[in-house]
């Protein structure tokens, strides 16, 4: 496979075989060696085979191996000739990140950090085996998937102002509950308001560095300010929707005579019965995830009040923004000089719209859409903003995180004989998790340094660095 | 918090190996016959979720799954157990395959409801995937490879 450098942090794999368009990978020269040795670049090339793909198959600098599509992949499809693929969204539909900031400084929170982290661990359930999920009937769950985060706010679980600062205002149109299986409803019923396991987490941190003072001011970020990051998605509801429709699409591929280089790229034409059915079910999962993060944000606010003994005004936890990073959406983008409505798949990639786009909250019009890039539990995370170059180059998309560098097996080997929790605590980071094994698997060394991913995006011009956040405490499933 | 993770690996049987894969978790299982392979695969999956040695055999349920081929049957079997674990908050630790063909499996599985005082849930399995899925005969043994999305 050939890689031609076409920009400071951009490489192109020219079309060969059945590729309809080139694949483009964002990476610095230093990162490319690792990417070359991973199957993920082949996966980016495979996506270029899909019918109706527009311009290129894109991969962000945090590209790594996924199911069919690479993680870090972005692909746009024509609505008439193109396809929609569950593998281009992922199992955790609308996995995403919310950033909240408080009125408190690090010095004010540190003395009660242990109480705070313990309270969060009690109040924010992680998943199977942990009590405290919202119990909702199937009828109520149908309202959840129709209303998204607004459902939670209407029940008093959040503030009206939260909705202004969530991608799609926390509710996407097109959800069709009739397209969702009985199993997905059953898996979703007991998990609303839960974090889940794996790489999902809730982190208390602080603003450690500001790179763009103007943008930081607009977002209300300042050094030493205490922050909260919530990273989770649509839980078992979304996983089941994905699983159900992978089988549907497997049959659709044969029905529509679509030739695929990898069976896991299973897809159907956007306007086919199967494509529309997945669309309607997927949007239900998108809204489930928006509601899930809203409920968790509410429990986070209450936990701060209990643990710190302050009222909500003194704490002032406010949503800066919330992004989705596993999603397919209809969006308008310029293609050959005219605006076209496309089906954009972002799998482990984040929307990064430029200043002036109508989807960007009015308060942020001058700086562009905030983008939230979590790192690992021992290092740092980043706040970026979208750019005009992202609109031109990547359908308004950028990276989503660090990406693993080591397998879980290797991470556990590296953690063996060490007390990871104690090591982190010595560095001022308190971690609570359900299982020591999970914490060991998620050690810092298991992840790539997210700063190199973010710097590659900045170098390519598809994002603007605003601020860095460092962790104080973290809860994990 | 517990030390189950390390303890478990120390006594992992030689027919079960963790697959070294960057993105997710996988396992390779071997067995002298297909029925045992399916039983061991189920046990192997529950070692990802918890420590099956701490699961008491208090309940028994019979279940049947159908699939278009043998590899898909393995995915459906494991997916069915994961679905029951997640929706009914149960853990399973003994698997007895009563009937097995290329496309159908009937089994009795034994276990108990999750007791947070005794069981550590290490992780959730989002899905049993078709990626890298293999069932093959190696000499006189059967070998299966399964990758989970965590």
Q: Residue B136 belongs to a domain with what CATH number?
A: 3.55.10.10
More confident residue, A437 or A322: A322
- A294: which 2 tokens? 């809203």
Q: Which 124-163 residues of chain A touch chain B by CB within 8 A?
A: 127-131
- A269: which 2 tokens? 């034409």
The pLDDT of residue B11 is: 59
A309 by DSSP, 3-state: which? coil
Give the position of tokens 């989770």: A232
> Which H or E element spans position A159?
none
Q: What are the strands, taking DSSP E only, across A325-461?
A: 326-335, 338-347, 350-351, 370-373, 381-386, 397-398, 430-433
- Total H helices, total E strands in chain A: 17, 19
Cβ-defined contact of B87 to A190 (cutoff 8 Å): yes
Q: Please tell me the distance from the alpha carbon of residue A211 to that of residue A468, in angstroms, as a whole number.
A: 8
Q: Domain A4-476, what architecture?
A: Alpha-Beta Complex (3.90)
Active-site residues of A, by number, are 400
Cβ-defined contact of B89 to A477 (cutoff 8 Å): no
- A211: which 2 tokens? 């790179």
Going across the sheet that includes A326-335, the strands are: A4-7, A10-13, A23-26, A53-64, A71-78, A338-347, A326-335
Mutate to test the interface with B, among A39, A128, A185, A200 (most CBs of B within 10 A): A128
Q: How many CA atoms lie within 13 A of A301 on its CB side?
A: 23
Q: Please compute the mean of the pLDDT values over residues A250-271 and round it to a whole number.
A: 95
The pLDDT of residue A129 is: 63
Lowest mean pLDDT among A13-27, A57-71, A212-226, A345-359: A57-71
Cβ-defined contact of B130 to A263 (cutoff 8 Å): yes
> Which H or E element spans position A253?
helix A235-255
- Give percent of chain B with pLDDT exceeding 70: 92
Asked if B106 has any chain A CB less than 8 Å from its own CB, the reply is no
Please work out, in degrees rounded to the nearest 5, the angle formed at the alpha carbon of residue A148 by the alpha carbons of A145 and A154: 115
A397 strand-pairing partners = A351
Q: How many CA atoms lie within 13 A of A313 on its CB side?
A: 0
Q: Please tell me the distance from the alpha carbon of residue B51 to that of residue B53, in angstroms, as a whole number.
A: 5
Q: Count of CB atoms within 10 A of residue B47's CB? A: 20
Q: Please tell me the distance from the alpha carbon of residue A399 to that of residue A455, in angstroms, as a whole number.
A: 11
Phi-psi region of A15 (alpha: psi -120 to 50; beta: other; left: phi over 0): beta
Phi, psi torsion values for A345, nearest 5 degrees: -100, 130
- CB-closest option in A130, A198, A263 to B123: A198
Cβ-defined contact of A435 to B120 (cutoff 8 Å): yes
Phi, psi torsion values for B94, nearest 5 degrees: -135, 135
Asked if B124 has any chain A CB less than 8 Å from its own CB, the reply is yes
Mutate to test the interface with B, among A67, A91, A289, A476 (most CBs of B within 10 A): A67
Cβ-defined contact of B5 to A435 (cutoff 8 Å): yes
The pLDDT of residue A436 is: 86
In the predicted model, residues of chain B with pLDDT beneath 50 are 1-10
- CB-closest option in B5, B19, B22 to A437: B5
Q: pLDDT by residue (tens digit) across A207-227?
A: 999 999 999 999 999 999 999
Q: Please tell me the distance from the alpha carbon of residue B54 to that of residue A187, in angstroms, as a whole number.
A: 25
Domain count, chain B: 1
- ipTM score: 0.89
- A243: which 2 tokens? 């699983």
Structural domain harbouring B39: 4-149
The pLDDT of residue A263 is: 86
- CB-closest option in A91, A246, A436 to B126: A91
Q: Please tell me the distance from the alpha carbon of residue A3 to that of residue A33, in angstroms, as a whole number.
A: 11
- CB-closest option in B20, B22, B87 to A64: B22
Cβ-defined contact of A246 to B21 (cutoff 8 Å): no
- A467: which 2 tokens? 């601020």
Cβ-defined contact of A196 to B1 (cutoff 8 Å): no
Which residues, other chains included, contact B129 with Cβ-Cβ below 8 Å and sequence gap of 6+?
A: A67, B24, B75, B146, B147, B148, B149
If you write DSSP's letter for every residue of B38-86 in order, what string do you get?
Answer: HHHHHHHHHHHHS-GGG----EEEEEEEE-SSHHHHHHHHHHHHHHHHH
- What mean pLDDT, rounded, does chain A reach? 95
Burial of A307 by CB count in 10 Å (0-12 exposed, 13-18 middle, 19+ buried)?
buried
The pLDDT of residue B75 is: 96
Distance from A246 to chain B by nearest Cα, in Å? Answer: 10
Q: pLDDT by residue (tens digit) across A384-394?
A: 999 999 999 99
Q: pLDDT by residue (tens digit) across A396-437?
A: 999 999 988 888 889 989 999 999 999 999 999 999 998 888
Which residues, other chains included, contact B13 with Cβ-Cβ below 8 Å and sequence gap of 6+?
A: none
Q: Count of CB atoms within 10 A of residue A154's CB? A: 12
- What mean pLDDT, rounded, does chain B reach? 90
Domain edges within chain A: 4-476
């Amino acid at each position: 496979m050939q890689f031609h450098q076409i920009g400071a942090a951009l490489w192109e794999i020219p079309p060969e075989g059945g590729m309809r368009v080139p694949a483009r990978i964002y990476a610095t020269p230093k990162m490319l060696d690792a990417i070359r040795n991973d199957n993920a670049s082949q996966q980016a090339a495979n996506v270029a085979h899909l019918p109706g793909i527009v311009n290129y198959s894109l991969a962000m600098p945090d590209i790594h191996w996924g199911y069919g599509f690479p993680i870090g992949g972005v692909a746009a499809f024509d609505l008439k000739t193109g396809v929609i693929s569950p593998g281009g969204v992922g199992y955790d539909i609308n996995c995403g990140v919310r950033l909240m900031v408080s009125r408190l400084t690090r010095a004010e929170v540190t003395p009660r950090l242990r109480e705070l982290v313990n309270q969060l661990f009690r109040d924010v359930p992680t998943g199977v085996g942990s009590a405290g999920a919202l119990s909702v009937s199937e009828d109520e769950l149908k309202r959840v998937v129709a209303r998204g985060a607004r459902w939670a706010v209407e029940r008093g679980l959040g503030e009206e102002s939260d909705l202004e600062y969530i991608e799609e205002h926390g509710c996407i149109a097109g959800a069709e509950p009739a397209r969702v299986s009985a199993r997905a409803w059953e898996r979703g019923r007991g998990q609303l308001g839960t974090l889940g396991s794996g790489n999902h987490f809730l982190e208390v941190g602080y603003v450690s560095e500001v790179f763009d003072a103007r943008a930081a001011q607009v977002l209300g970020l300042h050094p030493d300010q205490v922050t909260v990051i919530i990273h989770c998605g649509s839980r078992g509801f979304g996983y089941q929707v994905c699983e159900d429709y992978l089988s549907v699409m497997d049959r659709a591929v044969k029905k529509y005579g679509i030739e695929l280089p990898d069976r896991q790229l299973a897809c159907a034409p956007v306007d086919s019965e199967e494509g529309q059915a997945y669309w309607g079910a997927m949007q239900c999962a998108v809204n489930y995830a928006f509601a899930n993060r809203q409920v968790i944000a509410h429990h986070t606010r209450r936990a701060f009040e209990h643990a710190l003994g302050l009222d909500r005004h003194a704490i002032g936890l406010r949503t800066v923004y919330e992004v989705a990073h596993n999603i397919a959406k209809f969006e308008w983008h310029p293609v050959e000089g005219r605006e076209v409505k496309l089906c954009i798949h972002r799998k482990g990639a984040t929307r990064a719209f430029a200043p002036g786009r109508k989807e960007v909250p009015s308060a942020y019009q001058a700086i562009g859409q905030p983008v939230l890039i979590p790192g690992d539990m021992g290092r740092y995370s980043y706040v970026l903003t979208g750019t005009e170059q992202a609109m031109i180059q990547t359908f308004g998309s950028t990276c989503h995180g660090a990406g693993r560098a080591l397998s879980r097996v290797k991470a556990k080997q590296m953690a063996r004989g060490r007390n990871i929790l104690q090591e982190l605590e010595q560095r001022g980071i308190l971690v609570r998790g359900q299982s020591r094994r999970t914490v060991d698997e998620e050690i810092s060394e298991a992840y790539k340094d997210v700063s190199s991913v973010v710097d590659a995006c900045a170098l390519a011009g598809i994002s603007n660095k605003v601020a860095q956040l460092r962790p104080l405490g973290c809860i994990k499933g | 918090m517990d030390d189950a993770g390390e303890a478990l690996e120390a006594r992992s049987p030689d027919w079960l190996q963790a697959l070294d894969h960057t993105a997710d978790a996988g396992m390779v299982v071997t067995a002298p016959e297909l029925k045992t392979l399916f039983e061991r695969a189920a046990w192997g999956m529950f070692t990802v979720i918890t420590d099956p040695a701490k699961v008491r055999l208090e309940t028994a349920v019979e279940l049947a799954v159908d699939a278009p081929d043998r590899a898909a049957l393995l995915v459906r079997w494991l997916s069915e157990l994961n679905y029951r674990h997640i929706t009914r908050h149960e853990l399973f630790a003994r698997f007895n395959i009563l009937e097995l063909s290329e496309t159908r499996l009937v089994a009795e599985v034994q276990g108990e409801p999750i007791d947070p005082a005794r069981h550590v849930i290490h992780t959730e399995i989002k899905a049993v995937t078709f990626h890298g899925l293999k069932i093959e005969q190696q000499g006189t043994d059967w070998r299966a490879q399964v990758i989970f999305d965590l």
